Every structure is written in structure tokens, then in C-alpha cells.
Amino acid sequence: MSFAILSMGLLFLASWAAAAGPVVDLGYAQYQGVVDTDSNITKFLGMRFAAAPTGNLRWRMPTAPPNVDGIQRASADPTQCIQGAIVLTPPNTSPQSEDCLFLSVYSPDLNPTQLLPTIVWIHGGGYIWGSAFQYNGTDLVVESHREVVVVVIQWRLGLFGFLAGQQVKDDGVLNAGLREYYYPKSFPHTVLIYRIVDQEFALRWVNKNIHKFGGDPDKVSLWGESAGAGSVLQHIIAHNGQTIPQLFRAAITSSAYLPSQYWYHDSIPQNLFDNISAQAGCGVLDALDCLRTVDTARLQEINQNIISASLYGTTTFGPVVDGSFITQSPMVALEQRRVNGEILLSATNAHEGTLFVNQSADYDVAQYAQQLFPLFGAKEGKAVAAVYQSFGSSQDQVTAIMGESRLICPTYLLLNGFEGRAYKGEFAVPPALHGDDLYYYFASFSPGVITFNNTAFINAFNGGFLSFATNLDPNIKLLQTITPPWSKWAPAAEEMVFNRTEAGEPWIYEDPTSDALLARCEFWKSLRNITAQ
């Protein structure tokens, strides 16, 4: 009897926390969301935005989802894409599948008087791991005081998303985790017009459908963290900055990650393809056709083999320059200011590199630089060591090299690319490691805990991002906060620092960007042809 009563109580609690919600007709499917009765926010979880990229569709363009009859329940987080793991990644036992092109929408009002600004969140994870279920869009809706609609997307990862090489160019799609082919309706299907990304396919889904959820397709902010922010960078420079139609008006990057981005036919991605093909038992001829027949579990094993053999803190897989979606190196594109989007907000953390360096190892700094950037010779390795020799121990030097070359300096290139149309912030609450800021955007993010649980600080920090997403200006606040006036960024200007005092009080202030840091960023820019950034 007590067990039955307990079961009934659990059912009651479940129905109390999430009630059946409205139905939205997307043409190919009807999805019924659920209403979070705690927040009165409607969630549509795990809606398919593309067909399963499996079998012969591996490493091909995503295609339109199939039509399905009946009402589909959108009440559970989607199955995540195939994951890889490095020493930094938390344990992940959730189901994984190649069939993973889903997104989730969180809406405060499906029928507002005026359509609401929309945030599209792209998860991070080094291009090898991450998923939608980690990021509860309800957090952002609540923090915005119900002023935004939030979309969280998934995209192909690792070997499944970023296999490159001439064979993939000839009979597949490069940057599969990012792209697909797009044919405007006014052109015959025999004419290739644009190539767009998995992520961009989702953005076009948003452009077409978000009004059905109360979102404004003309007021989209694209936001990501780490490799998600690196993905935002890719969209900023996509199609030479001339994506048609423009799919977002504002871009937000939190710790934008820019590893080496080789041309698809360079020796490094080509050798990686050959290595994968050999591990799978596929010959040189028709290797891609063969790989499409290999069991998912075997490819998953090969994916992890490649990742595990990577330099500590790196992941091997990532975007390439393909000549169409990405037409030139990111640094060159940003220097030429060929960008999509009207305005940018970028943030970095004070100690970006720490997690990506083995702090118990002893390093030869010049040799480390050559390992991090395989096209370096001894000359370049020694030059890097000379620039960073004043940073203390070998661990401190390589930590700064990792953080500045791949995360911090790419952010300043982004800021320059928008030429006076950008804001810059720094998250400095100790220890201010890569990813520490996530707990301040997403109150329910786990594992881990927030390092400075101060309401005034939290409201000020995430409020700046959400005000920017809503009003294109962090100074037009959704709620009055303790953040002082936030200036637009320029090389001689200031950026907003978010920190705390030793006494445990919020400390938020503008501070000039370090001239020494900007000089080191110029040094990295001078090496862009060899770093392949």
C-alpha cells in the first residue's frame, strides 16, 4: 500500500512539474511541448531539424527531416551525438547516436504581443563532445525576465562531423558538423549555390519556424562557449561574410576557441583521413564508400583512438578551410573585416589555458610550441619561447601560450573584425578557468558549483549578455544592475572586468586592454600562415 501511495505521489509531482503543452505544426511534423509549471515556460525538447545522417548519409549534407504523422511528444532531451573524451571531459553515460540532429526550444509565450528576440546557443566541447541536455534554456529565459526565446542545438562531432581530406571533398561534405548544401528555391537543383552547416541548417530552421514559438527571426543572437564560440566565429566569416539571408543580427562569443584550421587537402587532415581509413580496414580506392559501411561502434572506437593520441588538452578534430563555406583562414577573413552580423559581444576568462596544460609536467617551451602547431620549425618554436620567457615556470609559459594563441588572441581579432561595433568583457572571478563562466549563464549547469554565489554579481554578469541579446547594447538593461557604463571596444579603449574583492564583494569595472597582451596577439597574427589559423 505504501509503495502504491509513493508511486502515485511521484506521478503527481511529475505532472505538477511539467504539464502537457501546446502543439506546433512545423509542416513535416507536429510537436507537443511541455509546460514547466515552476517557471511557466514552454519547452519543446528534442525536435528533429534534419534527417538522420547515417549510412550513406554519413559525411553528406544534412537533409530535410521526413514527414511524420500524428503528434510527436517533445518532452525529453534528445539523444546526444557520438562523443569523444579527453582528460578534461566529465563522465558521460547518456545514450549516444549518429542520429542526433535535434534542437530544443524554450519559450515564455508562444503568442506574444510582439515577437521576442531569440538566442541560439551552440555548445562547446572541443568539437568532440557536448550536447543539448547540458544547457537548460529555461535558465536564460528566466534571467532575461521572459524577454527571449532560446534555442539549443546539436551537431555532428569528432570523426563524424569533421572528417576532411580530398576524398571527402570529392564525394561528401567537409565540415559536416558545420555544413550542408543549400539550394534556393528560385534556382534549379543542379546548380550549387551555397554550402551551409549542420549548425546553419538549424539556423535556417530558426529563420523559418521560430515565429511559431514566439521568437523574432530578425532578432537572432548567436551565442556559444569554447568550441561553440569558435563555431560562432565560423558563422561570422562564412561565405566571405555574405551569408544570404543574414541568419543572425548579433554574435556573442564566450572563450572563442580557434585551433589550427588547415585547408582540407593539406597533409595533416589528409594523413588523418588515411589513418582513419587504415584503422577501419578500408583501402585507398573508394575509402569513403567503405567508411560509410563501417559499424558505428568501430568508428566510435577509432574516433576515441585519434582523440586519445592528441597532445594534452587538444582534440585533433575541428573545422577546415573548404573553399566555399570557409574560403580563407579565419585570421585573414577577420583582418579583412568580412563578417556576418551587425554587432559583437566577446568575453574571455582570465586563465583560459590552465585546464589544457598538464600542470605536473616539465616542459621544453620551444618544443611545446612545435607540438601545439605542427607546422612550426625550430625557428618559430624559439621565437615563441622568447616571447613568453618572462612568464615564470615552464608550466606558466605554456599555459599562457595555449590560452593566448587559441582562445584570447582570436577574440581580439574578432573584436577588430567588427571595427567599433563590439563590446569586450573578462570573467576574472578566481580561479577564472576556461568554462567557469558557464555556471553564471546557466544556473542549473553541472557538474560543478558556482564559485561566487553573489546575486548582485550574477545579475550583473549574465544581465550584460542578455541585455545585449535583447537590445544590442549591454547598457540598455533588462534589470538595473551594478555594472557601470560599458564602452564599446577599440584597441586603445577599455573592457569590462567582472571580479570579486578579497572581502567577497562584487568588483566590476572597466580596465584598458593590456598593451603587452595586444602586442603578443600581433605576434601570433604574424605567424598565422604557420599556425594555420
Give the catalytic positions in this structure. 226
State how far the Cα of 436 lies from the Cα of 438, in Å rounded to an integer: 5
Cell of 332: 585573414
Could you say which DSSP state residue 83 is in?
A: P
Characterize 349-381 residue by residue with b for buried, 16 or more Cβ atoms within 10 angstroms of its Cβ, and e for exposed. Answer: bbbbbbbbbeeeeebebbebbbebbebbeeebb
Strand partners, 116: 215
Q: Which residues, at least 6 apart from 111, have a Cβ–Cβ distance to it below 8 Å? A: 214
Closest CA to 27 of 160, 179, 209, 163: 209
Phi, psi of 217 (to 5 degrees): -70, -15
Q: How many CB atoms lie under 10 A from the CB of residue 419?
A: 10
Q: Which residues, at least 6 apart from 336, have a Cβ–Cβ distance to it below 8 Å? A: none
**Residue with cell string 506574444:** 112
Phi, psi of 64 (to 5 degrees): -60, 145
**Residue with cell string 610550441:** 369
State how far the Cα of 89 lies from the Cα of 314, in Å rounded to an integer: 12
Q: Which amino acid is at 155?
A: W
User: Left if phi > 0, otherwise alpha if psi is -120 to 50, otherwise beta: which for 376?
Assistant: beta
